[in-house]
Amino acid sequence: VSTAGGAAANGSDDARADRLAEAVAARGLDALLVTNLVNVRYLTGFSGTNGLAVVGGDGRRAFLTDFRYLDQAEREVGPGFERLRGKQDLLEDAARLLDGRVGFDDEHLTVKSHARLAGLVEERVELVPADGLVEELRAVKDASEVERIARAAALVDEALADLRERGLAGRTEREVALALENDLRERGAEGVSFPIIVAGGAHGALPPASPRDEPIERDSLVIVDLGCTVAGYCSDCTRTFATGALDTEAAEVYALVLAAQERALDAVRAGAGAREVDAVAREAIADAGHGEEFGHGLGHGVGLEIHERPRLSPLGEGTLAAGNVVTVEPGVYLSERFGVRIEDLVVVREDGPEVLSGFPKALVTVE
């Protein structure tokens, strides 16, 4: 039996669990206990809110949920996992499945749960912090994941095209944000991947703030940053619109951010350093005298979560891999005046980026 969001539909969960089993063995672990629900979903297809998985270095794999989710697990969890029923608090039953050196999500398991688990497994099991094993796998998307992200990106393109028709000046930021969210849902999105940002004029120079009940002014810049989810996967896109004539500096900053964004895009390919790609945009902006006004990283990975690995920033580590899905989103923010950010969502390929965001980046005026 397959469902749209389920394991059978993406057909790759066995491959994921296989790769995880290799990573578990490579770390010298007998098994990994996966408690983070996003990681559980990635591995098993299970989208409910109480479940965990155990993946052994020897290939053994079990999925545990309680009675409320048995039917859902039946539909969603692939046959590669032994499906087990536990009590609502799953740790006690999980403890029985564990033996030897067992890694756990130290970033996700609470101190309280860890203490409880340690008490349950006693001397039999050595619990080893092993955060990031599943996250590392998640950073490289397979074709079915890219397809979902691309669909979510296409819905954003359509919503922005609608926005262009409806206009901006005179509407409040909140009205525009609500209309965009409605539009995305009507077009088939499950929801938004984060609260939509609509920030006009000086508001656009502030760190992500909630849309206000203030009308958007004419002859200003408006940052619109939005994303939605399709079959669990997120998209993320930013465009900055003009609501009329711009003064010279605003037009220049827009052109600068666009040039920096395109140069950074050109640097995206498998093997490029996460820090180096960030530096391409950062240097272009610094050379124009606005280095201090680009106060965030260039981009982030996007998948089941809106912010995941890899990170493109001055603190980014490692190199990009084919199949990473990342944003490229430089910005310049002039305090009390305006902000400009341009963000594309791209798939990293061997020879360059495959850009999923289709809405034009040349300055679009929406009055």
Report helix, strand or coil for 322.
coil
> Dmax over Cα atoms in the chain, in whole Å?
72
- The nearer residue to Zn ion, 13 or 343, going by C-beta atoms, is 343
Q: Specify the stretch interacting with Zn ion by CB under 5 A; choose among 122-130, 145-153, 231-239, 287-295.
A: 231-239
Q: How far is the CB of 280 from Zn ion (least distance, A)?
A: 17
Contact 78, 16 (CB under 8 A): no
Phi, psi of 347 (to 5 degrees): -95, 130
Q: How many CB atoms lie within 10 A of CB 125?
A: 20
Rounded to whole angstroms, how far apart are CA atoms 357 and 343? 8
Report the candidate in 58, 36, 50, 40 with the shortest Cα–Cα distance to residue 87.
50
Q: How far is the CB of 113 from Zn ion (least distance, A)?
A: 31
- The nearer residue to Zn ion, 73 or 196, going by C-beta atoms, is 196
Rounded to whole angstroms, how far apart are CA atoms 331 and 99? 50
Contact 6, 75 (CB under 8 A): yes
- The nearer residue to Zn ion, 76 or 236, going by C-beta atoms, is 236
- The nearer residue to Zn ion, 64 or 326, going by C-beta atoms, is 326
Q: How far is the CB of 44 from Zn ion (least distance, A)?
A: 27
Among 181, 225, 278, 293, binds Zn ion (CB under 5 A): 225
Residue whose structure tokens are 């609608």: 162
- The nearer residue to Zn ion, 207 or 289, going by C-beta atoms, is 207
Q: How far is the CB of 201 from Zn ion (least distance, A)?
A: 19
Binding map of Zn ion across residues 234-263, x = CB under 5 A, - = no contact: --x-x-------------------------
Beta bridge partners of 198: 224
Binding residues among 285-344 for Zn ion as defined by CB under 5 A: 327, 343
Q: How far is the CB of 221 from Zn ion (least distance, A)?
A: 16
Report helix, strand or coil for 333.
strand
- The nearer residue to Zn ion, 34 or 196, going by C-beta atoms, is 196
CB-neighbour burial class of residue 132 (10 A; exposed 0-12, middle 13-18, buried 19+): middle
Q: Specify the stretch interacting with Zn ion by CB under 5 A; choose among 10-18, 169-177, 230-238, 308-316.
A: 230-238
Rounded to whole angstroms, how far apart are CA atoms 4 and 172? 37
Q: Specify the stretch interacting with Zn ion by CB under 5 A; choose among 26-34, 148-156, 218-226, 281-289.
A: 218-226
Q: How far is the CB of 194 from Zn ion (least distance, A)?
A: 7
Backbone dihedral region for residue 100 (phi beyond 0: left; psi -120 to 50: alpha; all else: beta): left
Rounded to whole angstroms, how far apart are CA atoms 141 and 337? 39
Q: How far is the CB of 212 from Zn ion (least distance, A)?
A: 18
Rounded to whole angstroms, how far apart are CA atoms 265 and 271? 14
Q: Specify the stretch interacting with Zn ion by CB under 5 A; choose among 29-37, 53-61, 85-93, 220-228.
A: 220-228
Binding map of Zn ion across residues 43-62, x = CB under 5 A, - = no contact: --------------------
Contact 254, 228 (CB under 8 A): no
- The nearer residue to Zn ion, 31 or 268, going by C-beta atoms, is 268
Q: How far is the CB of 63 from Zn ion (least distance, A)?
A: 32
Helical pair 143-166 and 173-186, crossing angle rounded to 10 deg: 130
Q: Specify the stretch interacting with Zn ion by CB under 5 A; choose among 75-83, 232-240, 254-262, 318-326.
A: 232-240
Query: Which residues of this chain interact with Zn ion, rule CB under 5 A?
Result: 225, 236, 238, 327, 343
